[in-house]
Structure 1
């Protein structure tokens, strides 16, 4: 009998029993909230009574999402406010963080959910406003910068949580070609950026261990029915709601209040790619990140 597998299944089943309508009145910032899992996550939290800070880069889509989330949370007393920024521009990330700090009295949870997928043309290398490879910029640099800029507010609101939406698709970073200027492929870039995000989550969790702010990463579900999955040519395997449940657990579950520096495959605390535990690789990534975000 595989005891480890049995324990993992028991953990998942217990986590899945979280009441879908259990109350949660914290303030949660969700990036990439205009579509896909971000939008469904916001709807779920609104029904629980949370205060939602919704991020998007398109004003019309952001307004539309906000209206839907307000309607969903009307009976639970949810509040909704919006923040506009293109995460492919680090200046806009800084500006949004400054606006959040100015407008919001507290922040209980930051969910770094926005993502640039593999792309419809995976061989076409794209760059951010600052000239960084686009997936590395949006999936890694932007959430790291946003977290850094909002950390004072999170700490002042402690206990608080940072939830980084990563992926089981992880590929090691080539430090001789971090921006993938040679042999570019979009899915590979995506997988590298997601591993970088996990590595950074582990480092931040170590650095702020006594702050009252936890930092965890997760793979929410495999091949959810999102635009990015379809755009790349994959066949969706599960509805978006399957990714919402484990993400909500990391946001709301009291049993995880002191859990930090972990990577979850849905409900299961599991090892990430081996490079995430390499001290030299983590140090090189941290040094590069400081340089790029200076």
Structure 2
């Protein structure tokens, strides 16, 4: 087994924490992201306790045989912090073999209350689509230098077509619908980025990990969890590590099955419009309150 260095966003709870602990037990180097320092330090300590001393049997003489666990604090609802996070990772890490874009804004405890990001974008669209896309793009120099490398975008079977006349859902807002639109946007961006990165050694895939996992977001919206978090950990880790998926890119998986996403994900014009909007929003210099 070759140790890989993997960055996991939203690693302090739920699916992200579960992925971190599994990778730690397998001896991989972990870069853990969160927005709460106390929770981030707690999961980092937990992962460090799980790590074997030297799973490869090939620690360099005089080197530390234990896998590394490092933490990165950032609020992904602020694009400035997203870019800063990527810059810190690029400056500190010699390689990056995997990126799991897991951090999520769910339907919310008050689903009829529309929230916005630091830059004034609808919050679910910002956290679930703009942030992972911006982070991935900013980390591409490190990912391509480390190739073969994998990007795994954690999406959902809950998908709803993006309304290009009201992308930020300023009319008839509802949190779960916003979540479903943002997750479809993530899937569409996955397909576009995978095509762009063909032959670079960097693969980009997305998945629905499990239905109604027992997470804080599911409970906050008022839904009853149907399965434990480990049900989502297994298919996500598979996309990240399975040698049988070498070279597989631009695919949407329903857990372990290569599946079809919402029809809009395969509409070239819709994808073109989404990416033009995405690039415009990421390039926008104006910030509310500046």
TM range (shorter): over 0.9
Question: Does the CA contact (< 8 Å) of 1:24 and 1:252 recur in 2?
Answer: no
* Higher helix content, 1 or 2: 1
Question: Does the CA contact (< 8 Å) of 1:24 and 1:45 recur in 2?
Answer: no
| Moved segments of 4+, more than 6 Å | none
**1:95-115 deviations in Å (ceiling 9; x for gaps):** 010000000000000000000
Question: How many angstroms apart in 1 are the aligned matches of 2:154 and 2:215?
Answer: 14
Question: Where does 1:153-172 land on structure 2 (aligned, <5 Å)?
Answer: 153-172=142-161
| 1:175 partner SS | coil
CA RMSD of aligned residues (A): 0.7
Match of 1:111 among 90, 100, 103: 100
Question: Where does 1:270-285 land on structure 2 (aligned, <5 Å)?
Answer: 270-285=259-274
| 1:33 partner SS | coil
**1:184-203 deviations in Å (ceiling 9; x for gaps):** 00000000000000000000
**1:233-284 deviations in Å (ceiling 9; x for gaps):** 1110000000000001001000101100000000000000000000010000
Question: Does the CA contact (< 8 Å) of 1:224 and 1:237 recur in 2?
Answer: yes
Q: Which residue of 2 is the match for residue 212 of structure 1?
A: 201
Question: How many angstroms apart in 2 are the aligned matches of 1:225 and 1:67?
Answer: 22
| 2:19 partner SS | helix
| 2:10 partner SS | coil
What are structure 2's unaligned runs of at least 5 residues? 56-65, 284-290
CA drift of 1:24 comes to 5.3
**1:215-241 deviations in Å (ceiling 9; x for gaps):** 000000000000000110111000000
Question: Does the CA contact (< 8 Å) of 1:224 and 1:243 recur in 2?
Answer: yes
> TM-score, normalized by length of structure 2?
0.93
Question: How many angstroms apart in 2 are the aligned matches of 1:60 and 1:24?
Answer: 31
CA drift of 1:74 comes to 4.0
Matched, 1:222 2:211: yes
Q: Which residue of 2 is the match for residue 34 of structure 1?
A: 12
**1:68-113 deviations in Å (ceiling 9; x for gaps):** 0110114443210000100000000000100000000000000000
> TM-score, normalized by length of structure 1?
0.92
Question: Does the CA contact (< 8 Å) of 2:208 and 2:255 recur in 1?
Answer: yes
What are structure 1's unaligned runs of at least 5 residues? 1-22
Question: Does the CA contact (< 8 Å) of 2:194 and 2:203 recur in 1?
Answer: yes
